[in-house]
Chain A
């Protein structure tokens, strides 16, 4: 622990890096689809409740735990959890804070490369949906399937250099270049420029969408105002009479909680790591709230006004009802840009903005694992970047190879990006609220804070948030767990993907064991100190 620690350069840079980590494809593609399918404007009531009672409290808890761990000389989840929990078991539970960013990075970098690939396709005119408007939708799906290799496995084995693989290699290398440069010179510096550039691109596309008016005079109903209405009008779900019935639907509340979760990047292990580079007197309350609010701005004010209205104006209800992330982003929107005046330019701008949103997120996914390798094995940044590059590169190649119907990618996302993040969030709230102690946590968070924590925070983080999370997990186990294991048993690709998660987890647990012994020997770990003093 004698080596000089990495630190953030400026406070605004740190906030932009955390916000950049949170703003991703989900803000622009997942949120609008989720809202439109779950009550429109009515969805915003459970959405803001989840933000206030789930997202922001967990966010503050993560910032506080990270800062506490950093003060003790640690930057990785296993070490920080060990210090907070004062039991070796907590250290091993910290593996969740490593497998989440590592596994997600393996497929996220691929989706990121699709965004850049589509931006290049629009710029160069490679994407051509033909002259027959009735075939636009089918052509768009075909282009996507060919681009990502969704028609068959083995994208790299057909004897030619596939453009999507070339773009993936470039994107992968760019990520590791910035990671190698370090926290303040790499991630922070990149995000300081990328986040404002992303906002600028989004504002230009927003201005274009809001000034579309009624592009087809023969279909006067397909106009921007009705497009906004399709997104924001409060409406019932499942054919009920009143929109208020949407608020009585548990699935609407679950969808809102899930959206906030994925959107704010809580339960990813990233915030704990980022906050560990702060010092005791650095603020976490205002910084955490500002990063969350910036993410909300991209999601509600930009994502909520662009995607669905644009799809509605050109494609009507049928187009705007495509609410899946991939179908909305890569099937529907290319058709929208084909209809739109100057669509090639705006298509390029849109997909380049998605690429920036994705790369600011993927960069953050690597830092927790780099920090862990450095402090568990005692190796330098160069060695840990090489080791992590090898691990994530192999995993990413696995996802690229098993590209048919994107089965491996979707399974990894369903498992790690949907379930395990809720498990990690539940572990963190128990650790913060019940083991470390709410009063102690609040006192530590308030040290240097430029904003007072609201009085309800202690009660919410101790009782409400864990109850919310355990209800989410319980309902998933009750409804989906048997079907999940059936899928793993029946499908070979899904079985292999499951095995990959297990192998990575076991590998990381072994490293945690090695790291734990090292920290105990150095007497820098609270568990080691405690056990040695007995």
Chain B
């Protein structure tokens, strides 16, 4: 593997890992990330009567 290969591999993976970490850190920092977005009554499907 050439030096160029190492540089491209590390830079590409580093960029993507950094982006994923940044995004998930921002999402999970919100207290509502794993809580229900809407009231349980809203989540009910619309076809229970059909």
| A→B interface (CB under 8 Å) | 3-12, 14-15, 40-42, 44, 48, 182-185, 225-226, 228-229, 231-234, 243, 279, 282, 286-287, 289-290, 293-294, 296-297, 300-301, 304-305, 374, 379-383, 450-451
Given contacts A7-B42, A9-B36, contact A229 B16 (CB under 8 A): no
CA distance A44 to B43 in the complex (A): 41
C-alpha spacing A297/B25, complex, angstroms: 15
Within 8 Å by CB of A5, from B1, B26, B35, B46, lies: B46
Chain B nearest CB from A43 CB (Å) reads 9
The proximity string for B residues 8-50 relative to A, scoring 1 for CB distances below 8 Å and 0 otherwise, is 1101110111011011101110101111111001111111011
Contact B16 A297 (CB under 8 A): yes
B15 contacts A381, C-beta separation under 8 Å: no
* A7 touching B4, Cβ below 8 Å: no
Write the nearest CB–CB distance from B29 to chain A, whole angstroms.
9
B36→A286 contact, CB < 8 A: no
A184 touches B43 (CB 8 A): yes
A and B contact pairs by CB, cutoff 8 A, 12 listed? A5-B46, A9-B36, A184-B43, A229-B1, A233-B5, A279-B37, A293-B16, A296-B19, A301-B16, A374-B46, A380-B46, A380-B49
Given contacts A10-B34, A229-B1, A232-B1, contact A185 B20 (CB under 8 A): no
Complex Cα gap A7–B23 (Å): 23
Query: Which residues on A sit within 8 Å (CB–CB) of B32?
Result: 11
**Secondary structure of the A side of the interface?**
helix
Number of B interface residues in the complex (CB < 8 A): 39
Report whether B38 and A7 are in contact in the complex, using a CB–CB cutoff of 8 Å: yes
Partner of A380, one of B26, B27, B47: B47
Q: Which residue of A lies closest to B10 (CB)?
A: A232
B13 touches A290 (CB 8 A): no
| Minimum Cβ distance to chain B for residue A308 (Å) | 12
A300 near B30: Cβ-Cβ < 8 Å: no
Whether B1 and A300, one on each chain, are in contact in the complex, defined by CB atoms closer than 8 angstroms, is: no
Contacts of A304 in B (CB 8 A): 9, 12-13
Q: Are B41 and A290 in contact (CB under 8 A)?
A: no
With a cutoff of 8 Å between Cβ atoms, the chain A residues found around residue B36 in the complex are 9-10
Contacts of B35 in A (CB 8 A): 10
Contact A41 B5 (CB under 8 A): yes
Cβ contacts under 8 Å, A290 to chain B: 20, 23-24, 26-27
How distant is the Cα of A8 from the Cα of B37 in the complex, in angstroms? 7
Q: Which of B12, B42, B44 contacts A44 (CB 8 A)?
A: B12
A182 in contact with B45 (CB, 8 Å):
yes
List the 5 closest A-B pairs by CB distance, nearest first. Answer: A380-B50, A41-B8, A229-B1, A381-B47, A380-B47
Quote the shortest CB–CB distance from B17 to chain A (angstroms): 6
A286–B23 touching, CB < 8 Å: yes
B5 & A15 in contact (Cβ 8 Å cutoff): no
Residues on A with C-beta less than 8 A from B16 are 293, 296-297, 300-301
A144–B7 alpha-carbon span in the complex (Å)? 38
| B4 CB, nearest partner CB in chain A, Å | 5
Instruction: Flag if B4 contacts A234 (CB, 8 Å).
Output: yes
Q: List the B side residues contacting A41 at CB < 8 Å.
A: 4-5, 7-9, 12
A289 to B2, CA, bound (A): 32
* A379 and B17 contact, CB distance less than 8 A: no
Does A232 lie within 8 Å of B37, measured CB to CB? Answer: no
Query: Which residue of chain A has its CB nearest to the CB of B49?
Result: A380
Q: Are A450 and B26 in contact (CB under 8 A)?
A: yes
Task: Report A36 CB to chain B, min CB distance, Å.
Answer: 12
In the assembled complex, which residues on chain B have CB atoms less than 8 Å from the CB atom of A11? 27, 30, 32-34, 37
Inter-chain contact B47/A382, CB cutoff 8 Å: yes
Provide the bound-state CA to CA distance between A294 and B28, in Å: 14
A4 touches B44 (CB 8 A): yes
With a CB–CB cut-off of 8 A, which chain A residues contact B6? 232
From the candidates A44, A279, A301, A305, name the one contacting B38 in the complex (CB within 8 A).
A279
Find out whether the CB atom of A228 lies under 8 angstroms from the CB atom of B5: yes
Q: Which of A6, A294, A296, A451 contacts B46 (CB 8 A)?
A: A6
Contacts of A451 on B, CB cut-off 8 Å?
26
Chain B residues, Cβ within 8 Å of A7: 37-38, 42-43
Asked if residues B45 and A228 are in contact (CB atoms below 8 Å), the reply is no
Q: Closest approach, in angstroms, between the C-beta of A303 and any C-beta of chain B?
A: 11
A9 to B15, CA, bound (A): 30
Q: Which residue, of A183, A185, A233, A382, has the highest number of chain B Cβ atoms within 10 A? A: A233
With A7-B38, A225-B1, A289-B23 as contacts: A185 and B50 at CB distance below 8 Å: no
- Note all chain B residues with C-beta closer than 8 A to A234: 2, 4-5, 8
Q: B17 touching A297 by the CB < 8 A rule? A: yes
